[in-house]
Structures are given as C-alpha cells and as structure tokens.
Structure 1
Amino acid sequence: MKIAAISPNKVRLNEIGKLLQAASHVAVLTEGGAGKLRQVAEQDQPDLMLVDGIGCCEDSLAPIEDLTTHHPQIAVVLLCAETSPAFLLSAMRAGVREVLPSPAGQAELETAVTRICGKLRGAPGRGNGKVLAFMPCKGGSGATFLATSLGYQLAQARSVLLIDLNLQFGDALSFVHDQRPPSTMADVARAIDRLDASFLAACTVRITPSLSILAAPEDHAQAVEIGPEHVDAVLALAVQHYDFIVLDIGRPVTNLSIKALDRAHRIYTVMQAGLPSIRNAKKLLAIFKSLDYGPDKVELVINRFERKGAIGAAEIERALGKFTIHTVPNSYRHVTAAVDHGEALMTDAPSDPVLRSVAQLAQTISPRQEAPRSLLERLVRRQLVAG
C-alpha cells in the first residue's frame, strides 16, 4: 500500500516512515504543512495520507476538505491533539477517516493503518460499482425519500454517489441538505469533455465522507441539454470510483432513463398498497418486460405499508407477479419532519421503524460485517444516536 505522511516535525516524520516501511508499505515522507497536501496527492497518488500538525480547529480543516473533494479515492488520517466530539464530527464532514492523537503511539498508529488498509484492499476494483435505480409508479410514492435514505445507509460502510435524474422536478438534495448545489448534472453535461474522477467529485455535494450527491438542474432549460450519452458517460466513470451509485429517476420512461436503467444492477419500483398504484405498477412492469428487464433485475418496494391494510403484499404479488417485495412502514410525522428540515432520517429520528426497514434493504444489498470501530466512528455514532 502506498502511504504518504506529511508533518512539519522531521523527527516525527521519520518515526512514521520507519513504522510504515517495517510493515512493507511504500512510504512517501514530506516535511511541511497543509500547503503540501494537493501537491503530494497529485504527484504521488497515495492510497492513504497521514497528516500531522496542521492545527486542531475547524478552520484548519479547509485544506483537508479540499483534498478529499478533489481526490475522494485517497483515505485521510489526521494526527491531532484535539479529540473533542465537536471537532471529530467536523473532521468526519471534511472527509477524514480517523483522527489519532499527535504524537501517536506506535501501536495505535499501526492498528489504524492496518484497519484502513484492510478496508481499502477490500473495496471493489475498477468498474465494479453497483448501480441501484429508484423509480416511482406514480407521483408521491416516496421514491426520492427512499433513494436518499438508502444512500445514507449504504454510506455507513461504502462509498456512495447519488445522482438525481429526475431532471425536470428533481429535489433529492433537499432531502438531506438545506443549501443550493454549486454544480449540477447540467454543468457536468456542458463540460463532458473534462469528465474525470476529480471533476465529477468537484460537481457533487459532499453530505458525509462517503455520500455525495450530483444534483438535478434547477432550470428546465438546462435539463433539456442533458442527453443519454451524458448519463452513460457519468455512470461509466462513477462505477470505477464508487461502491454504489444510487439513481433517483423520474416517472416518465424516456431514452435518457432507459440508458440509466440499462446500467442498473437493480431497479426498485416504488409503489403504495392502493389500486391506482397497482395499476401504474402493472404498466411500468410491462415496459420493463419489453426492455428485457426480468425479475432478477426488478424489485418492488411498497412504501407506507400498513400490515393491517385492505391490500396486503400477497394480493400485490398476485396482481403483479413474482417479484422480490420489500415493505416500508408508514411514519408520516417523522419522515415529514426530516424532509422539512433537510436532514436524513438517520439524523432526525434514528430509531424510526422506517429507518429499520431501509437498513434491512441496505443489508440485503451490502451485508456488513461488524468490525472494531475507530474512536472517530464510535464518537460519531454516539452523537447521531444521542441527537
């Protein structure tokens, strides 16, 4: 594994280098501070960067966030004396994998490096990212909420890019973020010749260190500039750099949406347990059949499901055929509050039953193995649960 270490302290830098070399890593040692981050990332292209001595206040995290935004493939560990929960949360939002004390003990640093390198080696290789598409049967089905919630869940362990392909009315970003995006899918399409991993990452909004969103354009005139070839190029690149690409696709079946659906590993058809939704689902499934999307690719998600309702999962299966069916319970108050606040349900209501259903879906997609958590992960999780 290629690991770069940056520190203004030459003695400390040499100690880190000896530890890395003893563990058979390729060590790149740079004496200096935050001004060297981008240079080292671009020239040496390490898998992991150990950054020591840049300061322990939130303002000092700006160069780190710039680094993780432009080079999302590089894992960053910060060595810092500050370990308060507030600073750790800020570090997480800036894209830091772990925060260790500075100077770090040999055993602690070695354990952290081994843990992160193990995760990096276990990540999917180039071209192995999975595309998951969410498509509603009718307006108001809750497809955008489920897409953003699933993306947030998967990002607890994997890297996720959510792309809003509801180009005329897309508002996926507003479900987890309360500000306007600096760039959108339209900006990517206009500069498609510049498309690479750094440009794509720079056009997204970083929600958490592992979840980014490429927003839909806010102007309809910009939406019409986006073609199937732009979507195909973005997805071809994204699967090389993200574990999962979640697509929030609008209801109309168009050449553009078909291009996206062709690349999808799974299509989650979102519906409700009502006759209008069932009728629309039947039409949509017929279209999928004509496109040769079989039951191995299409799954049903029954949103706002009432177990004692008039129409159950068995009746829906009889009406639509044999498909894998997932149910998500109704939790109007918590879900509405989370959406209104522009926050993920995991942050706004971490014990909500809807969240448990989404977590179960995430588990079927990406089974997680429990592993010892870092100090940063434990404190962040504690803050989220308490919040």
Structure 2
Amino acid sequence: MKIRILSDSHENAERLRASLAGTGSSMDIAVGHATSSEPLGAVNGTVPDIVVLDAFDPADIAALETLTLRFPQIDPIVITGDTSSDFLLRALRAGVREVLPGTPTPEALLGAVARIRVKRGGAPTDGKILALTSCKGGSGATFLATNLAWVLAATHGKRVALIDLNLQFGDAAMYVTDQKPASNLALVCQQIHRLDAAFLTSAMIEVAPGFHLLAAPDDPAHSIDVKAEHVEAILKVARANFDFVVVDVGRSLDAVSLQPFDMADMIFPVVQLTLPFIREAKRLVEVFVSLGYPMSKVGLIVNRHLKNSEISVADLERTVQAKLFKTVPNSYDTVAASVNQGEPIARLAKNSPVTKALREIADSLAAEPEKASRGWLSRLFAH
C-alpha cells in the first residue's frame, strides 16, 4: 500500500511517517511538502493509495475534492483543528475517508489506515495479476483467459477474478457461462466512488465457486467511461481479494490497456506460428521493452500449435526476442464445441490435449514458489 504524507512541516511529516513505518507492515511511505499555494502538494508518478494531509486548512476543501475526482483511487486522511459537524459533512462530500484532530497519536493514525485497508478489501492477499493479450485478432486469447481462470478456480481452489478489458467488443462471459451480466466494467467505473470489495464482487458474474467475472461494457459507446485510473483502482481491489486476477486486455494499446500491463505479475502475449502473428508479436514485445517492462514477466503462449509447423518455436523466440511460456495444441473441433456451448473445455472435454495444456499452465502458476521450477517463473513469484 502506497502512502503519501503531505505537510508544511518537515518535522511533523517525519513524525507521521515514523508512526506508520514502525509497524513493520508492507507500506510504501513517502513524504512531500505542502504549501499555502499548493496545500495538497503534487501527485506525480505513481498515484498513492492514501494521502495524509497534515494541518489541513478547511478553506482548501474544494481543492481536495478536485483531487479526489481526478484520482478516485486515493483515500484521503485529513488532520485538522476543525472537527465541527459542518466541516465533517463537507469533508465527507469531498471524498475524505478519515478526519483526525490536532496532533494524532500513532495509534489513531494507524487505526485510520487500518479502517481504510478494510474498506478497500482488507489486508492484501498478494494476488497475482495475469494479463493476456492477442498479438493479432483470432489468436484465442479470450478463450485461454477464461478457461485458464476456470481451471485455476475449479482444480486448484483459487479465488479468481477475470476482468474483460476488451472495451469495444468484449465477450469473455459467453465462453464459460450462459448468465447475463447484471453489471459491467463501464457501470463500475461510472460509480467508481463506491468501489470496494463488496461493490466489485456484486458487479461480477459468479461463473463457478471461486470464479468471478467482470464483463466488458455491453455498449461500445460506454468504453469512454473507463479511464486508466479506474482500471488501476479496480485491479488494486481485485488483487487484494483474489488469488489471481486474469485480465483479457484485448488488442488496443492506450492508457487504459497499458494499466494492467504496468501492474501485471506476468504478461502473456498469445500468438500462433504464422508470419503475421509473429510480426505483430515482435512489435508488441518491442513496445514492452520501450516501456521498461522486465522481460522476465513476459511469456509467449503459442496457441493452436502443430508439432510439424513450418515455423518452429525456436524461430519464434529468436525473432520476437521473448521466451516461450507454453504451447497449447490445436484441437479445433473440441474448442469450437466449448465456445459454442459456453462451457469450459476442462468440464466439457476432460481428456482433451487443450485441457491438459491449460492444467499444466495452471499447475505452474498455482505452485508454491519453493516448489516451482528454478526457471524465470519461480524467480518472478519468489517475492
């Protein structure tokens, strides 16, 4: 959890920082300077989860509301000498989570932070974010994302969230269920001020025990309601409440789609062994490199793999400059039946080679770090 402390007094800021840092909790705490001309300081770089505003002037409440509207994922804690009912009401309307009087004790500050953590979904479970993306249309990324999520939940008993971020034409739900979503990603973003674990879960389809799915907007026009900061906030809440968060990113590259890549523990570009796919995979990996992503978190998944393919996996790795994570064999008829029936392939065809490949992927992802192989996967998960 990232916390930014803002104060016009360096001494006060350090005292507040020491109160939080002394707990040994997993908090990333930074101190900033606030002035009369910039009472809220500057929010640059990574947006914090909590902003602690020391010696807050009630006259700055409008500026604070502007901040919370721009960054709805921020939970402000206000330290002020004014604890009147009028100010408390105005602070509540401005998005303030906690108001502490005067010079708060370490216990009072820690209690405020703890209450916010519960509101955001409890203490982090260190869930893993897996971002799957198509290198080219028709790669099968949505099929793999939905069916991998189902296997992780059904076979390994993991709590899994799947988020359909294909904003224009997302249809992930139909791959694994015939339920009609009562809500979707755009509707959650329209009410982002309500976001917490309970609200997020209520907006999702429960596909199977432990497997929840947040559908894409049902109208492509509503994709404009989804902002990068909304996606960041949703992923943070999902990560704190699920063992795995599988994101079907789609094919677009913009601020919204880059957010799950930024936060992902692993990125899986889905490719087939044909030149058009490989060319697009190479371009995508070059984008990842330019953004500074470590290649240790990028693993290629080759879908519809044929052992006698004219282009080999080694050719793919050499051309794209990325490592293979897994191949999924071609089994067109079985996959088509799964998609047409909206039935997870692992339940429809337990002995299918595609089911076997999905189980192997799930086994690797669900393995405890010390039991995983000594390759890049275990190094990535060994935090």
What's the TM-score, normalizing by structure 1?
0.62
Q: Which residue of 1 aligns with 2:349?
A: 349
1:171-182 equivalences under 5 Å are 171-182=171-182
Q: Which residue of 2 aligns with 1:321?
A: 321
Q: Which residue of 2 aligns with 1:270?
A: 270
1:1-387 equivalences under 5 Å are 126-156=124-154, 157-367=157-367
Gaps of 5+ in 1: 1-123, 370-387
Deviation at 1:206, TM superposition (A): 0.2
Structure 1: distance between partners of 2:257 and 2:182: 24
Structure 2: distance between partners of 1:278 and 1:297: 19
Structure 2: distance between partners of 1:236 and 1:201: 13
Tell me if the contact between 2:228 and 2:255 (Cα under 8 Å) persists in the aligned partners: yes
Amino acid at match of 1:184: N
Q: Tell me, what secondary structure is at the counterpart of 1:363?
A: helix
Structure 1: distance between partners of 2:318 and 2:241: 40
Deviation at 1:196, TM superposition (A): 1.0
Deviations 1:6-29 (A, max 9, x none): xxxxxxxxxxxxxxxxxxxxxxxx
Deviations 1:185-206 (A, max 9, x none): 0111011111111111110000
Q: Which residue of 2 aligns with 1:383?
A: none
Q: Tell me, what secondary structure is at the counterpart of 1:296?
A: helix
Deviation at 1:177, TM superposition (A): 1.0
Q: Which residue of 2 aligns with 1:92?
A: none
Structure 1: distance between partners of 2:123 and 2:230: 23
Deviation at 1:255, TM superposition (A): 0.4
Deviations 1:114-141 (A, max 9, x none): xxxxxxxxxx961401100000100000
Structure 1: distance between partners of 2:342 and 2:236: 30
Structure 2: distance between partners of 1:324 and 1:302: 8
Q: Once structures 1 and 2 are overlaid, which stretch shifts more, 160-169 or 219-228?
A: 219-228
Deviation at 1:151, TM superposition (A): 0.3
Deviation at 1:322, TM superposition (A): 4.2
Structure 1: distance between partners of 2:320 and 2:258: 21
Amino acid at match of 2:148: L
Amino acid at match of 2:254: T
What's the TM-score, normalizing by structure 2?
0.63
Structure 1: distance between partners of 2:253 and 2:322: 22
Deviations 1:92-120 (A, max 9, x none): xxxxxxxxxxxxxxxxxxxxxxxxxxxxx
Tell me if the contact between 2:123 and 2:240 (Cα under 8 Å) persists in the aligned partners: yes
In the TM superposition, structure 1's runs of 4+ consecutive aligned residues that sit over 4 Å from their partners are none
Amino acid at match of 1:241: N
Structure 1: distance between partners of 2:153 and 2:144: 14
Q: Tell me, what secondary structure is at the counterpart of 2:162?
A: strand
Q: Aligned residue pairs: how many?
A: 246
Deviation at 1:178, TM superposition (A): 1.5
Identity among equivalent pairs (%): 43
Tell me if the contact between 2:179 and 2:205 (Cα under 8 Å) persists in the aligned partners: no
